Amino acid sequence: MKPCKNQAFTLVEIIVVCGIVSVFLGTAILLFTNFRRGYSRSEGTAVLLQDGALFIARLRNDLNNAVIAPDSSGGAPAQLSATPDQLSFMVYSSREAKTMPVVYRYLAAENGGSIFRREGSEKERELIKDRVASLTWQTEFERFLEPESTGSGTVRLSIGLDIQLKMRSGDEKPFTLKTSIFPARLNRQLNSP
């Protein structure tokens, strides 16, 4: 019998190569899925941050334009009111050249609440959809008196806001925003003689 001049891979070499390739593929798949999971989390956090920032910017803009205006009966001024599910106040609209009510409404739900905004008689618009885990807003009223002063002092009104946002997928940690917003125009009106 003549020796075979065509060399081939042995069974052991084929098994070793298949083992190395499967370890490499397993590691690559694991790295890719971890990267994808991390990317999804950071993308979800970015969406929550953007929603929260846009909501706070809109609320801050409205509160900067908040005013004390006589109500429709011509009597006492309309009040800024905060309830667990609603925040309402009057704003001066330069577009309309008049004051109109602005209402922020929180609709709680098991898998994420929503925040709506209505200005005047316009249709209600949804600002954050199904991403609010919890929301608390409250009015804070402070009076600063100078010692031995006969005046009424300086008053400061603010809205304390504590909102927690979460994604519906559930993998991301909830994102919490806490701030106090000071309605500049309203505070000037309260302190003017």
One DSSP character per residue, 134-166 reads: EEEEEEEEEEE--TT--S--EEEEEEEEEEEE-
pLDDT value at residue 172: 67
Instruction: Establish if 94 belongs to a structural domain.
Output: yes
- How far is residue 122 CA from its own chain's centroid? 23
Count of structural domains within the chain: 1
pLDDT value at residue 29: 95
Fill in the DSSP letter of residue 66.
B
pTM of the predicted model as reported, rounded to 2 decimal places:
0.73
Instruction: Establish if 154 belongs to a structural domain.
Output: yes
Range of the domain at 70: 39-191
Instruction: Establish if 80 belongs to a structural domain.
Output: yes
Instruction: Establish if 5 belongs to a structural domain.
Output: no
Q: What is the mean pLDDT of each run of 10 residues along the chain (193 residues)?
A: 69 91 95 88 84 91 83 57 87 82 91 90 90 86 73 77 82 80 80 72
pLDDT value at residue 170: 61
Instruction: Establish if 23 belongs to a structural domain.
Output: no
Q: Report how far residue 171's alpha carbon sits from residue 40's, in angstroms, rounded to the nearest whole number.
A: 9
pLDDT value at residue 76: 46
Instruction: Establish if 14 belongs to a structural domain.
Output: no
Instruction: Establish if 46 belongs to a structural domain.
Output: yes
pLDDT value at residue 41: 79
For residue 61, count CB atoms less than 10 angstroms from its CB and return exposed for 0-12, middle for 13-18, buried for 19 or more: exposed
